[in-house]
Structure 1
Amino acid sequence: MHLSRRALMTGLGTVAVSTRAGSALAAPRHVAPERLARDENYWATVAGQFRVSTEFVNLENGYYGVMPEPVRRAYHRAVDHLNERSSHLLRTTYKAQADQVRRRIATMLGVDMTEIALTRGGTEALQNLITGYRRLRPGDAVMYADLDYHSGQYAMNWLRERRSVRVERLIIPEPATRQTVLDAYARALRDHPRVRLLLLSHMNNRTGLVTPVKEITAMARRRGVDVIVDAAHSWGQLDFTMADLGAEFAVFSLHKWMGLPLGAGFLYIGRSRLADIDLAFADETYPADDIRSRVHSGTMNVAPILAADAALDFHDSLGAPAKQARLRYLRDRWVHQLRGTPGLQILTPEDPAMYGAITAFRIAGRTSEADNVALADQLMNRHRIFTVRRGGLSGGDCVRVTPALFTTTDDVDRLVAAIRDVAHRMRR
């Protein structure tokens, strides 16, 4: 039986809610993830755990991931608890609770807790690693790609004046394939032998392209280049561990695809490389051999961290393989219906290893910011579908589409009809 979004919302309180193993939400481990991805009854139950607006279809879920209900309730309890206990909580039990979250994250990533430091988000983590990187000398160079996160690009540009280094920019080819991406990085590293630091997106926030990080990191290492991997969008959306990235430095978000409240992320520094990142503002709160000395956020809202167990429980109940398969299935459902549409350009390849939920598109010849703002506006105003224009691509601006776990097949089918309508109007 297919349930409408409104029916799911109405029945929210009646759905069994427990994110522990054996709950109604637990993905059946005997069912292959790709098969489970097509089980609309199961995903209707999952969707019932999200409170979302019925006024529009939200296909812009890359900015911030909606908290599922168990997490929202845990967050509200955490806010109340923090408000009641105040400084007593912060000075007594909080650090132990934060360490427990670090321990769980580390286990999921296959690393040690001492290699994880909590931050207020992926951006803070990225800025701390880039600006704190100690191995640059005047005359060296750093490099990023056109598809890398804008805040990461800004931080790399900041190094130009502060470290007297050159900043090099490479272009990810369109259309991209695994080999053309590898070739682009190999060529850029060969042509710029002074590069010592490379920013590398696992999944970029513009088109959703997933790069072969492990191969590129190994390629860079052979040339004496360190890599900072931006995994803010991929963790919780894709199924991987740090071993799959092969990197010594990486940043992650917890409020995108792991479902924590806004204001949570973390950074990873391999144990043997801690000394290559400066203490944050000469921090003396922690010893220099403690990774937490590489983050100094001041007095921050700790309620998101206090709610982390509920979010990690929810993720574990579904399982990373099932989440990945469902999100790819939703992406495939709209992309495959639109492939071959005259004048429509899909900006991620068909290789499943190179995408997750996020995919962007543009209309041929409509590459300006104004064109793509207008396209997204038409999708919203004419069809009540919320997407977002993305810029910074060398090939021109685009519109990003990002389904979530609460997205239905009806939602993406509605998107297909809407894009066909808007594309036809804009081609006339």
Structure 2
Amino acid sequence: MNAADSQRRAWLKAGALLPLAPSMALATATSSATASAAATVYAGATAIAAAPTLPVMPARPAGTPQQVAADESYWRQIAAQYDITNEVAMLDNAFWGSMSRPVLAAYEQHVAEVNRGNSYYGRTQFPPAFGAARRRAAEALGVSADEIVFTRGATEALQILIGSYNKLRPGDVVLCADIDYDNMITTLHWLKQRRGVEVVSIAMPEPFTHQSVIDCYAQAMARHPKLKLMLLTHVNHRNGMVLPVAEINRMARERGIDTIVDTAHGFGQLDMRLPDLQADFAGINLHKWIGAPIGVGAIYIRRGRVQDIDPYMGETDRADIRTRVHTGTLNFAAYLALPQALDLHEQVGVAYKQARLARLRQRWLDAVRDVPGLQLLASDDPRLSSAIAAFRLRGRTSMADNVALARRLLKEHGVFTVERDGLAGGACVRATPSIFTLEAEVDRLSAALRKVAA
């Protein structure tokens, strides 16, 4: 295989289509004039199509993140940048993040561009643009481009990391917790069948504190001397607790234990970058809190650790992270719109987003703390708090109870939330604002909860 073919395969492994190598293109030429034209076409293929010109987000007022978080007029301007249904108070924003109007416009323009150019565009213009999007994402994540590879979301990323981690031996122990995402728990149990490992699960304390969570993981490490791999969920999708990942990773590293971090809900809503987590392996979503089109995620493997994740289904290049994923033909336009989503995310500012989300969460929680029939699954410790929080009626811990509660909130009060299962303490209902959520919407939730819990 020549160098050009090797490069082409590297792009294919990353889910892209590489343009024909110059030697291949020129081989089809039957005259010097045709060869010259072919070379000109190929040279032009390296130029990235001009990105759509986007309007900037509304100018952020002066002040600290906490001061700006309280400026409702500013956040009304931000909300106006989103086309969100007014049929309900939308408080299930953890499924995915809606694109802002400018990002949606860019995405639609890219869809038209890809559709118009067809394979000519796909083989000539897309590969360099895809590479530029990868570099832009790496910059935002605070890592090098050769440490990330795109996926269709965090689920795909984490399944690859867990399933392809090659340091496990029969009899080793792997660990998950009740806060971890369902599909990741099932993937860990798949390792029992494929690798002969023992899967152990721990339950987070309820209520939880920073120290009690750290102690829970420390005790698990002490109890299981054969523990080799842990799944850590940075921000869980059930009650929104922010796991002290960096502290747990430091403890694990001292014991020779690897971790795979699920930061699907962390990056984009918390003021952090990947190195802050002290993680060697992570799965990332870019269509949740960044607001990219649906179907954009990434794998992170710290430089020097890529050999510990097997290449995808027989790929032989063990040094290139891109050989760990082979998605096939991608939704080109989704990745092309990612740089615009990151630009607008940074215009708002992640510290300001986090402060606004914290304010909205705290507003509805504080309004119902005195309701005796309501159990809140949330901490007042800002180190453990995200936009996501959960609740249940006291004593109502079944999934059926919480399905009924979410339906009642919707039918009687027009508040859209979602039931979640899997916590050791029982099912719950999750509420999640976004940066387009206004105070009046979370006030509808707190008013509704006071009525249903009366």
Which SS does the other structure have where 2:334 is aligned?
helix
Structure having the higher Rg: 2
What does residue 188 of structure 2 align with?
Answer: 156
Unaligned runs of 5+ in 1: 1-16
Q: Distance in 2 between matches of 1:79 and 1:105?
A: 20
Aligned equivalent of 1:38: 70
Structure 1 segments of 4+ aligned residues over 3 angstroms from their partners = 17-20
| Letter in structure 2 aligned against 1:404 | S
State the SS of the aligned residue for 1:251. strand
C-alpha contact (below 8 Å) 2:137/2:339 kept by paired residues: no
Match of 1:341 among 371, 378, 388: 371
Matched AA of 2:58: L
Q: 360, 365, 368: which one pairs with 2:390?
A: 360
Shift of 1:26: 3.8
Matched letter for residue 270 of structure 2:
L
Identity within the alignment, %: 48
Q: CA deviation at 1:303?
A: 1.3
Partners of 2:89 and 2:373 lie apart in 1 by: 25
- The alpha-carbon deviation at position 90 of structure 1 amounts to 2.0
User: What's 1:383 paired with?
Assistant: 413
How far does the alpha carbon of each residue in 1:217-276 deviate from its partner, in whole angstroms, 9 at most, with x for none? 111111111010100011111110122100100111011111011111001000110000
Q: TM-score, normalised by structure 2?
A: 0.87
Q: Secondary structure at the match of 2:110?
A: helix
Query: Aligned residue for 1:27?
Result: 60
Aligned match of 1:413: 443
Cα deviation, 1:265-311, whole Å, max 9, x if unaligned, reads 00100011000000011236xx3311111111011212110111221
Q: Find the aligned partners of 1:86 and 1:423 in 2 and give their Cα distance.
A: 56
Q: Distance in 2 between matches of 1:26 and 1:310?
A: 17
Does the aligned pair in 1 maintain the 2:240–2:389 contact within 8 Å? Answer: yes
Distance (whole Å) between structure 2 residues aligned to residue 85 and residue 77 of structure 1: 12
CA RMSD of aligned residues (A): 1.3
Whether the aligned pair in 2 keeps the contact of 1:19 and 1:314 (CA below 8 Å) is: no
Aligned partner of residue 399 in structure 1, secondary structure: strand
Return the offset for 1:19. 6.0
- Letter of the structure 2 residue corresponding to residue 82 of structure 1: V
Contact residue 18 and residue 25 of structure 1 kept, 8 A: no
Tell me, in whole angstroms, the C-alpha distance in 2 between the residues paired with 1:109 and 1:309: 12
Q: How does 1:43-82 map to 2 (within 5 A)?
A: 43-82=75-114
1:22-421 alignment runs, 5 A limit: 23=56, 25-28=58-61, 30-283=62-315, 287-421=317-451
Per the normalisation by structure 1, the TM-score is 0.92
Deviation, 1:86, is 1.5
1:360-381 per-residue CA deviation (whole Å, 9 max, x = no partner) reads 0111100001100000000000
For structure 2, the residue ranges without an aligned partner over 5 or more in a row are: 1-51
In 1, are the aligned partners of 2:371 and 2:453 still within 8 Å (CA)?
A: no
Corresponding residue SS for 1:271? coil
Change in CA separation of 1:380 and 1:304 when aligned onto 2, cut-off 3 Å: same
Do the aligned partners of residues 24 and 68 (structure 1) sit closer, same or farther apart at CA in structure 2, a change above 3 Å counting?
closer
How far is the alpha carbon of 1:18 from its aligned partner?
A: 8.0
8 Å contact from structure 2 (residues 206, 425) kept in 1: yes
The amino acid of 1:108's aligned partner reads A
- Residues 75-125 of structure 1 show CA distances to partners (whole Å, capped at 9, x for unaligned) of 111111111111122212222112212211211222111001000001000
Aligned residues: 403
